[in-house]
Amino acid sequence: MAQAVAEKLGLETPDCGILSFAGGPEIDFSKPIAKSARFAMRDRSAMVFQRHDLFPRMTVIENVSEGPVRVQRVPKARATAEESALLDRVGLAEKRDAYPFQLSVGQQQRVGIVRALALRPDLLLFDEPTSALDPELVGEVLQDIRELADEGWTMVVVTHEPQFARQAADEVLFLDGGVVVERGATGDIFTKPAEECTRRFLDRILRPLD
């Protein structure tokens, strides 16, 4: 499995479908894909993982500057200065020299967000960014993501937090059993869903919170 992933230069490869982003070249997953196309798409995106996945033997500043320095060839001094500013914006400037085990889980996840931002991607990907957090820490991370949305970052967020999606998303895709059941503007999905399974979900999960 590890070898297959390495050969494909990606975490997962769809069986079919077409992927395009912001005028870039389309990738048709039903056909053989050139490495150059994979690299081009990968280099324009960055991912925040479900369990942050920081390098345990690196300090916070080393974690967030590793990508710019090693992959983008940014001079280390410049990367350190820029990423220190990013840490400051999420309230973690004083943790720059700490190791992951010295941070709370919420702080580790916020470092994961900064690590993705450090690559200055066109597209930010979030895989259930609050699923590993205690309830009292969820709000801190969601607030950081809301602020990124307000600043105009393009993001795809997989989440089971309907109130968060309602507040931060421009467009919502509702999935059931791995299939996109409904897609539309946030206001439409949450106020007048077209599909019965979407209505049932919202009645069960969201309506009691209104």
- Residue 172 to residue 185: CA distance in whole angstroms: 6
Residue 176: alpha-carbon gap to chain centroid: 20
Q: Is residue 79 part of a domain?
A: yes
Q: Is residue 115 part of a domain?
A: yes
Q: Is residue 31 part of a domain?
A: no
Q: Is residue 197 part of a domain?
A: no
Q: Is residue 191 part of a domain?
A: no
- Residue 106 to residue 102: CA distance in whole angstroms: 12
CATH number at residue 162: 3.40.50.300
Split into its structural domains, the chain has a count of: 1
Q: Is residue 111 part of a domain?
A: yes
pLDDT along the chain (210 residues), means of 10: 40 78 77 80 84 89 93 91 90 93 90 92 87 75 85 88 83 88 92 89 68
- DSSP summary character for residue 53: -
> Can you give the residue range of the structural domain that contains 56?
2-24+40-169
Q: Is residue 153 part of a domain?
A: yes
Report helix, strand or coil for 134.
coil
Q: Note the maximum CA span of the chain.
A: 55
Q: What is the pTM of this model?
A: 0.80
Query: Cβ of 87: how many Cβ atoms within 10 Å?
Result: 21
Closest CA to 47 of 120, 122, 124, 154: 124
